[in-house]
Each structure stands twice: as C-alpha cells, then as structure tokens.
C-alpha cells in the first residue's frame, strides 16, 4: 500500500490499513517509518481522545481487566476502543499474545474495538516509541479511547506514563510493592490503583490491601492536578468493580479537561519524546564512533576530534 492508499484505508475504517501502517511504524527501515510518520501527520493531532495506561506485573490480570472495562465502555455507542498491548515476554514466545487474545474474546470480536500487540523491534528505546506511533495511528483511525497494557517491572515500561492521560496500576491482594515486583516509582505515577482478583477467599485480603495502599498514597504529595490517587478493588473475572473504575476514570477525565491540564501534559509529553529522539540520534552517532575508538586506541592514533579533547 502506498501513502494515499494507507490514508484512504485508515480514513474509511479499514483495520487492515491501520495494521499495515502500524507495522510500518515498527520497522527499523527509516523509509518505512517515515511513511508511517507522513500518514500520522496527514491526520494531525486528535485532542479529544482518552489515553489510559494499564500497568502491572505479569499475571496481575491486566488483559482480563481490559476485556471487562472495554466491554462495559462499548455499551456507549459513541465509544471506540483500541487496545495496544506491550508485552516484552511475548517477543520470544508469542505465547502471551495468544493468551491475551483469548482473554479479550469479546473485545476481539467487537466491531468498535481494535486489538494490537506492539513490539519493540530492534529500535533503540523502541518499545514505548513504537507504541506511541501505534497510538497516534489508532487515533487517526478514529478510535477515541486508547487502552495501553504494559508490564511495569522495568525502567522502559514506566515510559508508558509518558504516553497516557490516566495511569492505572493493577495489583493483587496482599504484599507491598516489592513483593508485587513493582518499582516504587510507578506507584507514585498511578492515578488509579486497582487491587484485582478481589474474589473468593481473596476478597477480604483485597480490601485490606486497598486500605493500606490508600493510606500510603494519601501520605504522598498531591500532584499538580490536586488529584489524590484512588484505590479500588475489582474482580475482572466476575465483573466486579468495573463500573467503579469508570466512575473514577471519568471523574479524572473531567478534572483534567476542565482546565488546560490535559493540553499542558500532552505538550510536556511531546517535549519528552522530542528530547528522547535527539538522545537516540546522539547515541546512534556514538555507536558509529565505536570502531574508530577501538582502532585508535590499538594503534595509538585516535581520530582528531576525539584526541583533541583527551590529550591536553
Ligand atoms: N480469581 C481471579 N483471577 C483473575 C482475575 N483477573 C484475571 N485473573 C486470572 O489471572 C490470570 C492472568 O490474567 P491476565 O489477564 O492474562 O493477566 P496479565 O498478564 O496481567 O494480562 C488468568 O488466569 C486470569 O484468568 C480476577 O479478577 N480474579
Ligand atoms: Mg496480558
């Protein structure tokens, strides 16, 4: 597909064209990526979308939770949902992607939902960067609610917070952040903390865990938006707490769109991604020097521009 075909396809709601464009965005070949970037800029920024991050350790129930909140949201005929799941483990085995698909049965089959696993490719810092382009393409295709599933254990994954308007952390009953394998920093980014699997024998423990987190979060400094993170319990399997999630998420949305907070935050995020691009460019340049450095040190003759800063 060429640029015009991609644009036409995406504009007319053809999900094949959307998938194709996302694949181009994930490519390591600059000309393919550029094609995707041109398609994105054709559509321009979509300011009225709601971007929601769902982060947590593997097995916390993120995909099941997304199936539940997505299904409920789609009862509103004006809603369209794109789910982007970033799962580092799936790159090797493809196992969890299949797992995710089966956990999102209803969403996968729904005409107003689009589900796509994203991969990092071999791009430097590619994970979140590719997801960002995929997100922009989904928005261009008219999806007004973007749900991004990510595993929140490593450094790179916390970048998802730089993509979203609302950051949700999914935990399980019992255990502190360390036990749940979550980095402390992520806790501080959360706008809503969900203690999932609050069912059966674990329900009581879930309520206790929610209380503990709620107390801990009240001790943290308020964010610039004067939003105190909400802690709720849910059972994604039994459809409990799903309506409460949306209640909080819509409260939050009202709060951020009533002032210019959302616009400001998206601008700050843009700044972040621009800086990151510059950083990646410079790092790529550094890599190019590597051979010259090794050779120069071995022969005692470093390239002029390096040597002049080292030997004074
Ligand atoms: N009991 C219980 N199990 C759940 C719940 N949500 C998810 N699970 C189970 O936890 C496992 C992992 O779920 P999944 O959604 O794939 O987790 P993810 O890795 O965070 O996406 C699956 O076996 C789910 O059926 C829940 O609310 N209650
Ligand atoms: Mg999952």
Q: How far is the CA of 150 from the centre of ligand 2 (A)?
A: 8
For residue 145, how many other CB atoms are within 10 A of its CB?
24
> Which pLDDT tens digit goes with each residue over 57-68?
888 999 999 999
CA atoms within 13 A on the CB side of 300: 0
Ligand 1 cavity residues, CB under 6 Å = 56, 58-64, 99, 103, 196-197, 199, 235-237
Return the percentage of the chain with pLDDT > 70, whole number: 89
Q: How far is the CA of 241 from the centre of ligand 1 (A)?
A: 15
Q: Measured from the CA of 240, which atom of ligand 1 is nearest?
A: 27
The closest residue, in CA terms, to atom 11 on ligand 1 is: 59
Q: How far is the CA of 103 from the centre of ligand 1 (A)?
A: 8
Per-residue pLDDT at 19: 96
The closest residue, in CA terms, to atom 3 on ligand 1 is: 197
Q: pLDDT at residue 91 above 50?
A: no
- The residue-averaged pLDDT of 43-58 equals 93
Q: How confident is the model at residue 169 (pLDDT cuts 50, 70, 90)?
A: very high
Domains of the chain from N-terminus onward: 1-44 (1.20.5.170), 46-258 (3.40.50.300), 260-312 (no CATH)
- The residue-averaged pLDDT of 176-189 equals 76
- The residue-averaged pLDDT of 271-298 equals 85
User: Ligand nearest 236 Cα, by number?
Assistant: 1
Per-residue pLDDT at 122: 47
Q: What's the chain's length in residues?
A: 312
Q: Which of 57, 58, 59, 61 to mutate to test the pocket of ligand 1 (most atoms within 8 A of CB)?
A: 61
> Which pLDDT tens digit goes with each residue over 134-156?
999 999 999 999 999 988 766 55
- The residue-averaged pLDDT of 221-231 equals 81
Q: Are strands 230-233 and 50-56 parallel, antiparallel or unpaired?
A: unpaired
- The overall average pLDDT reported for the chain is 87
- The residue-averaged pLDDT of 75-103 equals 72
- Contacting residues for 120 by C-beta, under 8 A, at least 6 apart: 86, 88, 91, 126, 127, 130
Average the pLDDT over each of 205-219, 250-264, 273-287 and give the range with the smallest value: 273-287
Return the percentage of the chain with pLDDT > 90, whole number: 55
Q: How confident is the model at residue 176 (pLDDT cuts 50, 70, 90)?
A: confident
Q: pLDDT at residue 118 above 90?
A: no
């Amino acid at each position: 597909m060429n640029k015009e075909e991609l644009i036409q396809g995406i504009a007319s709601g053809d999900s094949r064209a959307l998938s194709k464009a996302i694949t181009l965005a994930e490519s390591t070949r600059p000309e393919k990526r550029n094609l995707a970037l041109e398609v994105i800029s054709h559509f321009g920024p979509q300011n009225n979308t709601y971007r929601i991050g769902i982060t947590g350790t593997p097995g916390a129930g993120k995909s099941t939770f997304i199936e539940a909140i997505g299904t409920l949201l789609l009862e509103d005929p004006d809603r369209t949902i794109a789910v982007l799941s970033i799962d580092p483990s799936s790159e090797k085995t493809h196992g969890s992607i299949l797992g995710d698909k089966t956990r999102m049965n209803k969403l996968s089959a729904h005409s107003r939902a689009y589900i796509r696993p994203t991969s990092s490719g071999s791009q430097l810092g590619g994970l979140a960067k590719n997801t960002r382009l995929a997100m922009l393409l989904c928005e261009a295709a008219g999806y007004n609610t973007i749900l991004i599933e990510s595993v929140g254990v490593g450094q790179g994954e916390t970048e998802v917070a730089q993509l979203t308007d609302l950051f949700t952390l999914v935990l399980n009953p019992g255990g502190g952040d360390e036990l749940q394998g979550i980095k402390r920093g992520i806790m501080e980014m959360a706008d809503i903390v969900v203690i999932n699997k609050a069912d059966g024998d674990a329900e009581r423990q879930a309520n206790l865990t929610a209380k503990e987190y709620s107390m801990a979060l009240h001790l943290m400094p308020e964010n610039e938006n004067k939003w105190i993170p909400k802690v709720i319990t849910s059972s994604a399997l039994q459809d409990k707490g799903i309506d409460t999630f949306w209640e909080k998420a819509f409260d939050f949305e009202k709060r951020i769109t009533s002032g210019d907070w959302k616009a400001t935050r998206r601008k700050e995020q843009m700044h972040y991604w621009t800086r990151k691009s510059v950083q990646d460019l410079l790092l790529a340049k550094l890599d190019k020097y590597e051979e010259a450095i090794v050779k120069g040190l071995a022969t005692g003759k470093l390239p002029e521009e390096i040597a002049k800063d080292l030997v004074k």
